[in-house]
Chains A and B, each alone.
Chain A
């Protein structure tokens, strides 16, 4: 395959390098800030606080409940599954754990949207609420049609934005680099806001 970087790609690439630099500089500071907000005596506002945080039981690991979006097995669209995951005071690490749960797949018979071989390389969040989810290239190997590709992308985007209000938009990277699409359809050159129209409508069943 002949791949020559287009002007747009080069610019996006340069922009991303700059962004990475900013993130590398800013994220440690941000996460310290966040650690303080959550662990200090002041109750954190809903905006920065992870949802449904459970009271830490004495001696037990702190956990949070999150809603994971998987693909419905019997009809088009995404369905939610609740899951308890370990709490992390670092938002990036927390998001990484959530994406890891998506890769691990459903425990209630729903269809996984990412191949089990996918590695979550890193997740970091900018101060403006863009989460960059860096996946190994295996992520693109399970999908081919636009229906599945949409669900793969939005299972990640929705799982992060719905559970963590501090995350406004999500951009998926493959092997540390920006990518046009996972499998030729959904535009990944820019961060995506959540899309709840991809949820499976239970009403669909009635018409069948």
Chain B
């Protein structure tokens, strides 16, 4: 009988979790409880300068490291971090003297305890603690005539394993963790290569689906920078077929080594609109989407070449990208700045000049209450925030909230520089609830470079020289922000992190 069946809550084990602490790699076998995956605390803390003091009377364990204190409670999804409560994804469990903690929530208490970066990568089942260098893999495609070139570039030396299968080519990068700059499958026209996408998995597999015109490929690896270049050659074009136009450029910007300790390393630039969404139209017929892409490309080039930072575009061609995907793209790249480029339009006569916006954020009463409840720990024991829940939604909607101050100063720096170019009369830094900024988990601004609806400014916006001036002003703004920001965080940063022993 069903009613008589005992409910088995026995711990099952699953695949090991990889823990990398300051480049030291080890594996821990987790314990599965319901949907939660837990790791034994003792095993996790092995080799870390942490003292653990269990208090069986109240069912709690206190961890201390260099004056910082974390308390975990049996059968509660909470951690007290130096007196502040943090929500964990599921309950901490004390099981036969073993403390088990939800692996995906480990960074929530370990990072403030050790004053180190900590991150859980669910897809790669890897917990990163401290200074772990994660190769960033960037994929670029370029089509010209009868060749499609796919370049897979890594920020450090990684192994590439290429295999050709029926109708596709797979590239595996067998490393524990990589950062991938390919948020969504990239579709190409022309019939040589159809789709380039990242499948993931243990070996970080990319696939390239071959098109009907594919004939053969040539691949070679390069050392500095570490990259794999594959040229896909086509069968000769049948008469009457249109020649595919190049959709992207593969020219690699020279990489300048990023100085240590610098806080701005990566910038994502977002050319507004694209594809069917043409944006605003100028009286002379100029589309906003074309102007934003042209300026964004110039910003990217200057950020990479002059500032020596990594710079990526959310789109590098005329394609539609959803608003939330643009912020997700920046989040996936762990970008330090997000800059959305737009051109303005108004029904009113004579509107001109540039404006730089950051998010006006006002949580609704409901949201404030719920977030306060979460942070204050007024949550029934066992309450958790599964991904996709209301709480996850609220957290997405609040991603920008904690960066508003920095976003504001980034906006000011860019606007100050832009004003010199566009002569923005009475315009300036403003706040608005722009959707594209909401989910960005880093300082983020939206730059309205000028009014495309103003025929004078429209003409300027289509000129290569003026686009260059605008891009240069944006980059000067970024550079000023970077300098001030680095100075501001340098002191506390060094004080908080124990430096290398000399």
Chain B residue with Cβ nearest A203: B426
Q: How large is the interface on A (under 10, 10 to 19, 20 to 34, 35 or more residues)?
A: 35 or more
A contact face: mostly helix, strand, loop, or mixed: loop
Q: Does A26 contact B (CB under 8 A)?
A: no
Given A111-B347, A145-B451, A185-B436, CB of A197 within 8 Å of CB of B431: yes
Within 8 Å by CB of B426, from A147, A181, A207, lies A207
Question: Which residues of chain A from 57 to 79 have any CB-CB distance to chain B below 8 Å in the complex?
Answer: 71-76
- B460 CB to nearest A CB, Å: 16
- B406 CB to nearest A CB, Å: 20
Given A8-B324, A8-B393, CB of A144 within 8 Å of CB of B433: no
A181/B323 in contact, CB under 8 A: yes
**Binary flags per residue of A113-153, CB closer than 8 Å to B gives 1, else 0:** 00000000000000010000000000000111111101000
Report how far A186 CA is from B288 CA in the complex, Å: 17
Question: Which residues of chain B from 452 to 483 have any CB-CB distance to chain A below 8 Å in the complex?
Answer: 452-453
B346/A76 in contact, CB under 8 A: yes
Given A76-B351, A184-B273, A207-B425, CB of A145 within 8 Å of CB of B435: no
Q: Does B362 contact A (CB under 8 A)?
A: yes
Given A181-B435, A185-B435, CB of A147 within 8 Å of CB of B351: yes
Within 8 Å by CB of A146, from B320, B427, B434, lies B434
A145: B residues at CB distance < 8 A? 279-280, 288, 342-346, 448, 451-453
Q: Does A33 contact B (CB under 8 A)?
A: no
B350: A residues at CB distance < 8 A? 74-75
Q: Does B438 contact A (CB under 8 A)?
A: yes
A73/B393 in contact, CB under 8 A: no
A184/B272 in contact, CB under 8 A: yes
Q: Does A201 contact B (CB under 8 A)?
A: yes
B346/A187 in contact, CB under 8 A: no
Q: A73, A180, A184, A208: which has the most chain B beta carbons within 10 Å?
A: A184
Within 8 Å by CB of A75, from B344, B348, B435, lies B348
Within 8 Å by CB of B433, from A7, A11, A187, lies A187
B323/A180 in contact, CB under 8 A: yes
**Binary flags per residue of A64-106, CB closer than 8 Å to B gives 1, else 0:** 0000000111111000000000000000000000000000000
Number of interface residues of B (CB under 8 A): 49
- B355 CB to nearest A CB, Å: 8
Given A6-B324, A144-B279, A145-B451, CB of A187 within 8 Å of CB of B434: yes
**Binary flags per residue of A172-186, CB closer than 8 Å to B gives 1, else 0:** 000000001100111
Given A74-B350, A186-B433, A187-B434, CB of A147 within 8 Å of CB of B345: yes
B434/A71 in contact, CB under 8 A: no
Question: Which residues of chain B from 378 to 428 have any CB-CB distance to chain A below 8 Å in the complex?
Answer: 388, 390, 393, 396-397, 425-427
Given A74-B350, A185-B436, A207-B425, CB of A146 within 8 Å of CB of B364: no
- A14 CB to nearest B CB, Å: 10
Q: Does B281 contact A (CB under 8 A)?
A: yes
Given A8-B393, A195-B360, A201-B426, CB of A150 within 8 Å of CB of B348: no
**Binary flags per residue of A1-39, CB closer than 8 Å to B gives 1, else 0:** 100001110011000000000000000000000000000
A190/B279 in contact, CB under 8 A: no
Q: Does A163 contact B (CB under 8 A)?
A: no
A201: B residues at CB distance < 8 A? 426
A185: B residues at CB distance < 8 A? 342, 432, 434-436, 446
Q: Does B251 contact A (CB under 8 A)?
A: no
- B352 CB to nearest A CB, Å: 9
Within 8 Å by CB of A150, from B280, B342, B432, B453, lies B432
B494: A residues at CB distance < 8 A? none
Q: Does B375 contact A (CB under 8 A)?
A: no
Chain A residue with Cβ nearest B281: A144
- B495 CB to nearest A CB, Å: 38
Q: Does A191 contact B (CB under 8 A)?
A: yes
Q: Does B15 contact A (CB under 8 A)?
A: no
A146/B446 in contact, CB under 8 A: yes
A180/B435 in contact, CB under 8 A: yes
- A181 CB to nearest B CB, Å: 5
Given A145-B344, A181-B435, CB of A190 within 8 Å of CB of B323: no
B397: A residues at CB distance < 8 A? 190
A146/B342 in contact, CB under 8 A: yes
Q: Does B166 contact A (CB under 8 A)?
A: no
Q: Does B276 contact A (CB under 8 A)?
A: yes
Q: Does B46 contact A (CB under 8 A)?
A: no
Q: Does B349 contact A (CB under 8 A)?
A: yes
B434: A residues at CB distance < 8 A? 146, 185-187
B390: A residues at CB distance < 8 A? 11
Report how far A73 CA is from B348 CA in the complex, Å: 5
Report how far A163 CA is from B106 CA in the complex, Å: 50
Report how far A72 CA is from B426 CA in the complex, Å: 15
Report how far A71 CA is from B272 CA in the complex, Å: 24
A147/B451 in contact, CB under 8 A: yes
Q: Does A199 contact B (CB under 8 A)?
A: no
B436: A residues at CB distance < 8 A? 185
- A residues whose Cβ falls under 8 Å from a Cβ of B: 1, 6-8, 11-12, 71-76, 111, 128, 142-148, 150, 169, 180-181, 184-193, 195, 197, 201, 204, 207-208
Other 19 A-B pairs with CB < 8 A, given A6-B324, A185-B342, A185-B446: A7-B388, A11-B388, A72-B348, A73-B348, A74-B350, A76-B427, A142-B347, A143-B345, A145-B451, A147-B451, A148-B347, A180-B323, A180-B324, A185-B432, A186-B433, A187-B438, A192-B433, A193-B362, A195-B432
Q: Can you report 30 residue pairs joining A to B where beta carbons are below 8 Å apart?
A: A1-B320, A6-B322, A6-B324, A8-B324, A11-B390, A12-B393, A73-B348, A74-B350, A75-B351, A76-B348, A76-B351, A76-B427, A142-B347, A143-B345, A144-B280, A145-B280, A145-B288, A147-B345, A147-B351, A147-B448, A148-B347, A181-B323, A185-B436, A186-B433, A186-B434, A186-B435, A193-B362, A197-B430, A201-B426, A204-B426
